[in-house]
């Protein structure tokens, strides 16, 4: 059973609309809460979904265009006003630390919790975070300013029981747990039930966030079958040239990417304000990759 | 007939809630559009009320606490993306220019329109803007960091016709216009109708914005009978001590101020996030100043 969830806080591109905030999302993955990008209004969106601010342990900023980071000052300040004391890590491009320090200096404020800055690496495909359960890799993408994609991957492999064995051997919950933990079980008839026989390795869960980039086929070699993929689709297919010139992707290209990496599900977002309805973009993507969904603000996707 | 209007874009204090954005408002006064404070999310609120961004000619920032200025970066950037070429003036405390320049430097962006910074004066009660029709005076208030109130006043006096003269002399529209412009009219019976006799000077319209301050009785000597007054009321009356310590005002104090300056109408706002309902604050103010209204996001008040 999956308990991972992605909640979209903003799905517009540079110009927000009356119903789409700039890029921001919160991912809940193995009990950790991460903010990914932090466009203007992120803290107001967080209020609406009633997530506990204290649970957020890190923020990942893809690049220094305003629609991806202007909400960070309000988030940091509100964490402070709400009494946060636990440390917060900010994975960000070079420059954001200087901007935040500038705010603190001229705006005359300080934080009562430790804010750690981790500057995103110049090299491609670098692991920037790892704990017992998950890892995060930053991949460089192709935008007008330095920009990174983030890949959240499960570290440990888990075993699932082949269902037919439960009824065949009338297994207890305790026996199931033993088998799933990778140990064999001695049955009442003295038969040994091997965990390798009646369990299989579950595929690792992963979430990949790719925004503000030209279509980047070379990146498909580095990403393997994500459970959930978010890929920007600023434009419809016929604006391919405009997408290329502005370092963005089309709906078709997002779907091609999802197909190439064998994603289980694709979310497209970062829509240009020119699209009042995004049905066309969604349909274009679904023609290539049927399991595509369009991001809407405050919508959640479990994975 | 009045065509002036104030629209509230945000009415929360430092912590926004799910239905109150941080401080921002737009005032339409003699055909001019001014943004007053510019909390996070201002551009999204402007989108909702469908005001033309191009009409806004100046932004007034009261002080450098995040809930009053964090939306300015997004506003400046979106003006640019929407093709603005007309100049914009930013009346702001010392420091905001440096913060904006820091954003531009590290965020790698520039503006295609002229942005003029006018630093708010150290002296009290200084006129910072004047054109044919209106003037703006900045008054220093009492907050933890330098903070200013803004008074928007009509420059020219206008004449209204005493209604009884219209029927008595069967005046034409042209004759009414002549009298209101301050000239006398020669009637068909060769009688001269004096404009001083049949018109009177209309009271000047004005709007006063006072936020983030301790109750400041001394300021009442400098403000005369505003048509509309906005005064912060962060706390209810019983939290007077807390208001004083945090350099804020209570609902009662806002009403006392309105009464002392003989305001026509009072709007209270900048409510602490602790108040889910602000009925109590509104009632407390109305006991002292009955013409009090509570600010709600996206609500307009004509004056």
Q: Count CB pairs under 8 A between chains A and B.
A: 106
Residues B177 and B105 in one domain: no
Residues A152 and A208 in one domain: yes
In a domain, B114, yes or no: yes
Give this prediction's pTM: 0.91
In the stretch 236-275 of chain B, residues with CB closer than 8 A to chain A read none
Residues B103 and B239 in one domain: yes
CB distance B102–A102 less than 8 Å? yes
pLDDT at position B158, please? Answer: 85
Burial class (CB in 10 A: 0-12, 13-18, 19+), A226: buried
Minimal-distance CA residue of chain B relative to A64: B107
Alpha helices of chain B — where are they, by DSSP H?
A: 42-49, 66-69, 72-81, 96-107, 164-169, 173-180, 195-198, 240-245, 251-260, 279-288
Residues A163 and A210 in one domain: no
The three-class DSSP label of residue B34 is strand
Task: Let me know how long chain A is.
Answer: 303
Query: Which residues, at least 6 apart from A196, have a Cβ–Cβ distance to it below 8 Å?
Result: none
User: In Å, what is the CA distance from A271 to each residue of B82, B159, B179, B199?
Assistant: 16, 53, 57, 58
Pairing of strands B5-10, B300-302: antiparallel
Which residues from A are below 8 Å from B95, CB to CB?
Answer: 106-107
Which residues from A are below 8 Å from B15, CB to CB?
Answer: 78, 81-82
Query: Which residues, at least 6 apart from A86, have a Cβ–Cβ distance to it below 8 Å?
Result: A54, A57, A113
Look at residues B249, B270, B246, B153 and name the one whose alpha carbon lies nearest to residue B208: B153
Q: Is A64 on the interface with B (CB under 8 A)?
A: yes
Angstrom distance (rounded) from CA B165 to CA B172? 11
In a domain, B101, yes or no: yes
Q: Phi and psi at residue A59, in whole multiples of 5°? A: -125, 135
Residue-wise pLDDT tens digits, A78-88? 999 999 999 99
Tokens of B194: 């004096």
Facing residue for B16 by CB, picked from A17, A18, A44: A44
Q: Phi and psi at residue B230, in whole multiples of 5°? A: -105, 125
Residues B30 and B179 in one domain: no
Q: Which residues of B210-227 are buried (b: 16+ CB within 10 A; e: fewer)?
A: bbbbbbbeebeeebeebb
Q: Is A217 on the interface with B (CB under 8 A)?
A: no
In a domain, B24, yes or no: yes
Q: Phi and psi at residue B34, in whole multiples of 5°? A: -125, 140
Minimal-distance CA residue of chain A relative to B49: A18
Look at residues A300, A301, A215, A280 and name the one whose alpha carbon lies nearest to residue A250: A215
Pairing of strands A88-92, A115-119: parallel
Angstrom distance (rounded) from CA B153 to CA A29? 56
In a domain, B208, yes or no: yes
Residues A216 and A267 in one domain: yes
pLDDT at position A2, please? Answer: 56
CB distance A43–B74 less than 8 Å? no
Residues A191 and A275 in one domain: no
Residue A53 has pLDDT above 60, yes or no: yes
Neighbours of A62 (CB within 10 A): 29
pLDDT at position A1, please? Answer: 46
Minimal-distance CA residue of chain B relative to A51: B18
Which of B135, B169, B199 marks a domain boundary?
B199
What's the mean pLDDT in B89-118? 93
Q: Is A16 on the interface with B (CB under 8 A)?
A: yes
Which residues from A are below 8 Å from B44, CB to CB?
Answer: 16, 18, 21, 40-41
Q: Which residues of B134-164 are buried (b: 16+ CB within 10 A; e: fewer)?
A: bebbbbbbbbeebbbbbbbbbeeeebebeee
What's the mean pLDDT in B32-57? 96
What's the mean pLDDT in A34-46? 97
Angstrom distance (rounded) from CA B30 to CA A188? 91
What's the mean pLDDT in A59-80? 97
Residue of A22, A99, A107, A119 to mutate, testing the B interface (most B Cβ within 10 Å of its Cβ): A107
CB distance A47–B106 less than 8 Å? no
Residues A136 and A207 in one domain: yes
Q: Is A10 on the interface with B (CB under 8 A)?
A: no
Please report, for the domain that includes residue A296, its CATH number: 3.60.15.10
Angle subtended at Cα A258 by Cα A252 and Cα A262, rounded to the nearest 5 degrees: 145
Instruction: Exactly one of A37, A67, A212, A297 is catalytic; name it.
Output: A67
CB distance B14–A77 less than 8 Å? yes
Q: Is B97 on the interface with A (CB under 8 A)?
A: no
Residues A244 and A272 in one domain: yes
CB distance B81–A107 less than 8 Å? no
In the stretch 136-165 of chain B, residues with CB closer than 8 A to chain A read 144-145
Q: Is A82 on the interface with B (CB under 8 A)?
A: yes
Residues A35 and A139 in one domain: yes
Residue B202 has pLDDT above 90, yes or no: no
Query: Which residues, at least 6 apart from B88, have a Cβ–Cβ distance to it below 8 Å?
Result: B56, B57, B58, B59, B76, B79, B113, B114, B115, B116
Residues A82 and A225 in one domain: yes
In a domain, B301, yes or no: no
Look at residues A31, A97, A103 and name the one whose alpha carbon lies nearest to residue A64: A97
Q: Which domain holds residue B134?
A: 5-158+202-295
In a domain, B57, yes or no: yes
- Residue A48's H or E segment, with its range, is helix A42-49
Facing residue for A106 by CB, picked from B21, B44, B99: B99
CB distance A71–B40 less than 8 Å? yes
Tokens of A12: 């517009």
pLDDT at position A239, please? Answer: 98
Query: Which residues, at least 6 apart from B13, have a Cβ–Cβ distance to it below 8 Å?
Result: B22, B23, B67, B232, B234, B248, B270, B271, B272, B273
Minimal-distance CA residue of chain B relative to A79: B15
Calculate what percentage of chain A has a pLDDT beyond 70. Answer: 99
Confidence of residue B267 (pLDDT cuts 50, 70, 90): very high
Active site residues of B: 67
Q: Is B89 on the interface with A (CB under 8 A)?
A: no
DSSP state for residue B250 in the 8-state scheme:
B
Minimal-distance CA residue of chain B relative to A63: B107
ipTM for the whole predicted complex goes beyond 0.95: no
Look at residues A112, A195, A206, A119 and name the one whose alpha carbon lies nearest to residue A159: A195
Residue B276 has pLDDT above 90, yes or no: yes
pLDDT at position A4, please? Answer: 95
What's the mean pLDDT in B48-76? 96
* Cβ A248 vs Cβ A284: under 8 Å: no
CB distance B108–A70 less than 8 Å? no
* Span of B56-70, B77-91, B100-114 with lowest mean pLDDT: B100-114
Which of A172, A199, A226 marks a domain boundary?
A199
Look at residues B111, B116, B24, B32 and name the one whose alpha carbon lies nearest to residue B72: B24
To the nearest whole angstrom, how far is the Cα of A151 from the nearest Cα of chain B? 24
Which of A178, A199, A220 marks a domain boundary?
A199
Calculate what percentage of chain A has a pLDDT beyond 90. Answer: 91
CB distance A64–B107 less than 8 Å? yes
Minimal-distance CA residue of chain B relative to A72: B70
CB distance A66–B47 less than 8 Å? no
What's the mean pLDDT in B40-52? 95
Residue B2 has pLDDT above 60, yes or no: no
Residue found under tokens 């109590």:
B280
Number of domains in chain A: 2
Residue-wise pLDDT tens digits, B23-38? 999 999 999 999 999 9
Angle subtended at Cα A213 by Cα A207 and Cα A217, rounded to the nearest 5 degrees: 75
Residues A90 and A49 in one domain: yes
């Amino acid at each position: 059973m999956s308990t991972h969830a992605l909640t979209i806080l903003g799905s517009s591109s540079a110009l927000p609309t009356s119903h789409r905030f700039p890029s921001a999302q919160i991912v809940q993955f193995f009990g950790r809460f991460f903010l990914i990008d932090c466009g203007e209004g992120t803290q107001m969106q967080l209020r609406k979904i009633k997530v506990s601010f204290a649970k957020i342990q890190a923020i990942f900023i893809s690049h220094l265009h305003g629609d991806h980071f202007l909400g960070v000052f309000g988030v940091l300040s509100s964490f402070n006003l709400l009494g946060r004391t636990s440390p917060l890590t900010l994975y960000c491009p070079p420059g954001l630390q200087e901007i935040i320090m500038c705010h603190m200096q001229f705006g005359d404020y300080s934080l009562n919790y430790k804010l750690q800055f981790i500057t995103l690496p110049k090299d491609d495909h670098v692991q920037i975070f790892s704990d017992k359960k998950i890892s995060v890799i930053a991949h460089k993408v192709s935008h007008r300013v330095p920009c990174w994609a983030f890949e959240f991957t499960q570290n440990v492999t888990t075993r699932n029981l082949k269902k037919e064995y439960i009824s065949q051997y009338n297994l207890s919950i305790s026996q199931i747990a033993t088998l799933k933990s990778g140990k064999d079980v001695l049955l009442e008839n003295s038969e040994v039930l091997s965990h390798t026989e009646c369990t299989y390795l579950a595929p690792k869960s992963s979430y990949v966030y790719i925004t503000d980039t030209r279509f980047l086929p070379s990146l498909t070699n580095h990403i393997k079958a994500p459970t959930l993929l978010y890929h920007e689709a600023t434009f419809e297919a016929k604006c391919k040239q405009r997408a290329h010139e502005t370092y963005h992707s089309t709906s078709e290209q997002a779907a091609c990417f999802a197909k190439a990496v064998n994603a289980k599900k694709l979310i497209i977002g970062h829509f240009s304000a020119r699209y009042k309805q995004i049905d066309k973009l969604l349909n274009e993507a679904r023609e290539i990759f049927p399991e595509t969904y369009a991001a809407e603000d405050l919508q959640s996707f479990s994975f």
